[in-house]
Structure 1
Amino acid sequence: MSRAFLKNESADDPVVIPARAPLPPGATNYVTPRGLALLRAELAELEAERAHVQVHTSDEADRTRQLAELNGRIGALNQRIASAHVVDHANQDPAADPLVRFGATVTLRTRSSRTAGNTERRFTIVGVDEADAGNGRIAFTAPIARAMQGKRVGDTITLRTARGEDVMEITAINYAD
């Protein structure tokens, strides 16, 4: 049986540090204030976990392995926080600047003829670490976010999906969410 299917790890096995959400090369690491707070909370959790492992793990090889993984994750997270460029639109008036930008919550109405009726969906454009498509938070690097940026209420966007093309109209832009 392949070692990939076994849970037994030895001290000689390389430590695998999970990758963070990808940020395109050369792209600025834009984050919302909420996103930065989430990164800092994650850092505090990892540091608390590291302290717990140092004190409560009696097996030296296991402790060394866990600490190596935690230190790697903390290092990657510190780099992401250090490169963060916070964009705060909390006080932005959509009437003064009616364009979709980073941090906007955008309401879209599907206008494709293949859909039954006009369905509405809301998306907030956030940083890559804060993205959670299931909760309507999409990374600014996502195709739908790139298609919306710079558009106004009433503009349409067309997205190619596995089912064909979706034509959507921007019906609202809000920066207060």
Structure 2
Amino acid sequence: MEKVPMTAEGYTSLEAEIKNLKTAERPRIIKLIAEARSHGDLSENAEYHAAKELQGITEARIADLEDKLSRADIIDVSKLKGDQVMFGATVTLIDEDTEDKVKYRIVGEIEGNVKEGKISITSPIARALLGKRKNDVVEVSTPGGGKSYEIVKVEYK
């Protein structure tokens, strides 16, 4: 089984999502199914079929998350240090074309969320950054074309 790298924060977040799905979402779906059943004929009952489909999606999500947790390789970022970009690093970059400053934290694939400043270790930007150091310039192929970034800060927190 292939290990799934993730931060301790990401692991805790997945545990919380599983708990929510099991303790809040499952009972809600069971009520929806029971209510839809009370409407009679199940063969033409759209509410019933929608609730059953939602139940299937929820159970699949729980199984997927539990699988990822069972294969988790938790990396304690607080014990990492140095100026080389690795998993868990928070990297401050300057876009060489626009001079815009951006900050990304390199996290596990399931934790990635660009809006929160977290990029997956498998993303093009993260792959380009890995192994680089402060003041290095990296070229990243993006759907909108190539981009150049200068690494101005590498930190582990």
Matched residue pairs, number? 144
Q: Calculate the TM-score normalised by the size of structure 2.
A: 0.81
SS of the residue corresponding to residue 93 of structure 1 reads coil
Q: Tell me, yes or no, if structure 1 residue 29 matches structure 2 residue 4.
A: yes
CA distance in 2, matches of 1:123, 1:145: 9
Alignment of 1:29-108 (within 5 A): 29-48=4-23, 49-55=25-31, 57-58=33-34, 59-60=36-37, 62=48, 64-94=52-82, 98-108=83-93
Report which of the two has the higher share of strand: 2
Aligned amino acid, residue 43 of structure 1: I
Whole-angstrom distance in 2 between the partners of 1:45 and 1:134: 23
- Give, in angstroms, the shift of residue 169 of structure 1: 1.0
Whole-Å separation in 2 of the counterparts to 1:38 and 1:76? 14
CA separation of 1:65 and 1:150: change in aligned 2, threshold 3 A: same
What is the aligned partner in structure 1 of residue 113 from structure 2? 132
Give unpaired runs (5+ residues) of structure 1: 1-25
TM-score (norm 1): 0.72
Alpha-carbon contact 2:91-2:103 (below 8 Å) kept: yes
Residue 155 (structure 1) aligned to one of 132, 136, 140: 136
RMSD over aligned Cα atoms: 2.1
Tell me whether 83-92 or 162-171 shows the greater mean CA deviation. Answer: 162-171
Assess, with a 3 A threshold, how the Cα gap between structure 1 residues 165 and 71 changes in structure 2: closer, same or farther. closer
Q: Note closer, same or farther for the CA distance 1:120–1:65 as it changes in structure 2 (3 Å cut).
A: closer
Residue identity opposite 1:91 in structure 2: K
Tell me the SS of whatever aligns to 1:90: helix
- The percent of aligned pairs where both chains have the same amino acid is 30
Unaligned runs of 5+ in 2: 43-47
Aligned partner letter, 1:79? D
Point out the structure with the larger helix share.
Answer: 2
